[in-house]
């Protein structure tokens, strides 16, 4: 078990299975097909992300360095929350960008979705966590990898 301290962007606690991306997370490419066509498992549609492609994202602890791509990223995160198709949490090794932060915060404020978000966990976080690990987030931004 290893602990990492990050900055809380959206407060909350959760325990979930990790889904890890070592490359940037393209929010639009990852969610577009699932949101347009009602994919109940919300499988990642980003063919350029071999870590996540075709992997179910709903209810997972999404561990990534940063988001990349379209300026619609924030709206996509908000839409995923509004549809109840969000990951259990989002954990960033680097500082979150303003678009992803705004989408996550709007999802928290405007919907009933629960999706804690913690950033600035450090490069060691992504070197440690592996897909399938159990992640626990505390209110204080402490992320535990089991």
4-60 confidence digits (pLDDT tens): 999 999 999 999 999 999 999 999 999 998 988 988 899 999 999 999 999 999 999
pLDDT of residue 84 exceeding 90: yes
Break the chain into its structural domains and give their ranges: 2-145
Is residue 89 a contact partner of residue 45, using CB atoms and an 8 Å limit? no
pLDDT of residue 139 exceeding 90: no
Query: Which CATH number is associated with domain 2-145?
Result: 3.50.30.10
* Per-residue model confidence (pLDDT) at position 64: 98
Partners of residue 92 on adjacent β-strands? 64
* b/e code 89-127 from CB counts within 10 Å (16+ = b): bbbbbbebbebbbbbbbbbbeebebebbbbbbbeeebbe
**CA–CA separation, 73 and 96 (whole Å):** 12
pTM: 0.96
Tens digits of residue pLDDT in 35-44: 889 888 999 9
Instruction: Grade residue 67 by pLDDT with cuts at 50, 70 and 90.
Output: very high
**CA–CA separation, 33 and 30 (whole Å):** 8
């Amino acid at each position: 078990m290893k602990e990492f301290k990050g900055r809380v962007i959206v407060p909350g606690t959760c325990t979930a299975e990790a889904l890890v991306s070592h490359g940037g997370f393209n929010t639009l490419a990852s969610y577009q097909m699932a949101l347009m066509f009602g994919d109940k498992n919300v499988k990642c549609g980003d063919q350029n992300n071999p870590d996540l492609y075709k992997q179910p994202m709903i209810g997972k602890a999404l561990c990534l360095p940063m988001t990349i791509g379209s300026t619609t990223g924030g709206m996509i995160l908000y839409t995923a929350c509004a549809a109840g198709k969000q990951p259990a949490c989002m954990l960033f090794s680097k500082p979150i960008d303003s678009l992803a932060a705004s989408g996550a915060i709007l999802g928290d404020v405007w919907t009933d979705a629960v999706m804690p978000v913690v950033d600035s966990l450090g490069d060691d976080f992504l070197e440690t966590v592996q897909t399938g690990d159990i992640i626990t987030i505390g209110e204080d931004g402490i992320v535990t990898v089991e």
